[in-house]
Structure 1
Amino acid sequence: MKAIALTSFGIPEVLEELEVPVPTLTDTQVLVEMRASSINPADIQMRSGAILQSPMADKFPAQLPIVLGFDVAGIVKEVGEKVRHFKPGDRVMGLVPMGSYMDYVAVEEDHLAVIPESLSFEEAGAAPAVALTAWQALFEHGRLQPRQRILVHAGAGGVGHAAVQLAKQYGAYVIATARDYNHDFVKGLGADEVFDYTKVDFSVQITDPVDIVFDSALDPSTIGTGLPGDLGEKNYSVIKDGGTYISVVAFTINQYPKVRGINAHFFHARPNRADFESIVRHMQKNTLRIHINETYPFTAQGLLQAYRKSEELPKRGKIVISKSRG
Structure 2
Amino acid sequence: MKAIALTSFGIPEALEELEVPVPAITDTQVLVEMRASSINPADVLFRSGAILEGPVADKFADQFQLPFVLGNEVAGIVTEVGGKVRHFKPGDRVMGMIPRGSYMDYVAVEEDLLAVIPESLSFEEAGAAPAVALPAWQALFEHGHLQPGQRILIQAGAGGVGHAAVQLAKQHGAYVIATARDYNHDFVKRLGADEVIDYTKTDFATQITEPVDFVLDAAMDPATFGTGLPGDIGRKNYSVIKDGGTYISVVAFALNEYPKVRGINAYFFQARANRTDFESIVRQMQENKLKIHIHEAYPFTAQGLLQAYRKSDEPTKRGKIIISKNLG
Distance apart, 1:170 and its partner CA = 0.2
Aligned length: 326
What are the residue-to-residue correspondences of 1:14-25 with 2, within 5 Å? Answer: 14-25=14-25
Following superposition, the deviation at residue 294 of structure 1 comes to 0.3
Query: In structure 1, the residue corresponding to 2:38 is in which secondary structure?
Result: strand
- Equivalent residue, structure 1, for 2:45: 45
Which residue among 90, 94, 97 is the counterpart of 1:95? 97
Structure 1 residue 188, shift from structure 2 partner: 0.3
Aligned-partner SS, 2:227:
coil
Q: Is the 8 A contact 1:39 1:69 kept in 2?
A: yes
Secondary structure, counterpart of 1:212 in structure 2: strand
1:313, distance to aligned residue in structure 2 (A): 3.1
Instruction: Name the structure 2 match of 1:108.
Output: 110
Other-structure match for 2:133: 131
Matched to 2:212, the amino acid is V
Match of 1:226 in 2: 228
* Secondary structure in structure 2 of the residue aligned to 1:224: helix
- List gaps (5 residues or longer) in structure 2: none
Equivalent pair of 1:175/1:192 in contact (CA under 8 Å): yes
Question: What are the Cα deviations for residues 57-79 of structure 1, in whole angstroms up to 9, with x where unaligned?
Answer: 23331111110001000000001
1:1-326 matched pairs, under 5 angstroms: 1-60=1-60, 61-326=63-328
| 1:268-302 CA-partner distances (Å, limit 9, x unpaired) | 11001010000000100110000000000000000
Q: CA deviation at 1:265?
A: 1.3
1:74, 1:91 within 8 Å by CA — same for their partners in 2?
Answer: yes
CA drift of 1:24 comes to: 1.2
- How far the C-alpha of 1:27 sits from its partner, in A, is 1.0
**Separation in 1 of the partners of 2:250 and 2:11?**
25
- Letter of the 1:320 partner, please give it: I
Question: What is the alpha-carbon distance in structure 2 between the residues aligned to residue 130 and residue 88 of structure 1?
Answer: 27
| 1:134-187 alpha-carbon deviations (Å, 9 max, x no partner) | 000100111100000000000000100000000000000000000000000000
Letter in 2 for 1:23: P
Name the SS for the 2:316 alignment partner: coil
What CA distance in whole angstroms lies between the structure 2 residues aligned with 1:269 and 1:199? 31
Distance in 2 (CA, whole Å) between partners of 1:187 and 1:12 is 33
Which amino acid letter does the alignment assign opposite residue 64 of structure 1? Answer: L
Q: How far apart in 2 are the matches of 1:107 and 1:56?
A: 25
Q: Which residue identity is paired with 2:20?
A: V
1:269 and 1:19 map into 2 onto residues whose CA distance is 32
CA–CA distance in structure 2, aligned partners of residues 151 and 59 of structure 1: 31
Report the Cα distance in structure 1 between the residues aligned to 2:108 and 2:303, rounded to whole angstroms. Answer: 24
Cα distance in structure 1, aligned partners of 2:295 and 2:98: 22
SS at match of 1:303: helix
Contact persistence 1:123–1:292 (CA under 8 A) = yes
Deviations 1:22-53 (A, max 9, x none): 11111111000000000000000110000111
Q: Distance between the aligned counterparts of 1:128 and 1:259, measured in 2?
A: 32
Output the CA distance in 1 between the equivalents of 2:173 and 2:104: 40
| TM-score under structure 1 length normalisation | 0.99
Letter in 1 for 2:264: I
Superposed CA RMSD in Å reads 0.6
Alpha-carbon separation, structure 1, partners of 2:57 and 2:136: 24
Look up the SS of the partner of 2:311 in the other structure.
helix
Q: Give the Cα separation in 2 of the matches to 1:77 and 1:185.
A: 38
For structure 1, the residue ranges without an aligned partner over 5 or more in a row are none
Q: Give a deviation string over 1:237-258, Cα, whole Å, max 9, x none.
A: 0000011110011000001000
TM score, norm. by length of structure 2: 0.99
Give the distance between the partners of 1:58 and 1:26, measured in 2 at CA. Answer: 29
CA contact (8 A) 1:141 1:265 kept: no
| SS of equivalent to 1:67 | coil
- 234-243 vs 311-320, which moves further: 311-320
Secondary structure, counterpart of 1:66 in structure 2: coil
Cα offsets for 1:52-110 (capped at 9, x unmatched): 11122233311111100010000000011110000000000000000000000011100
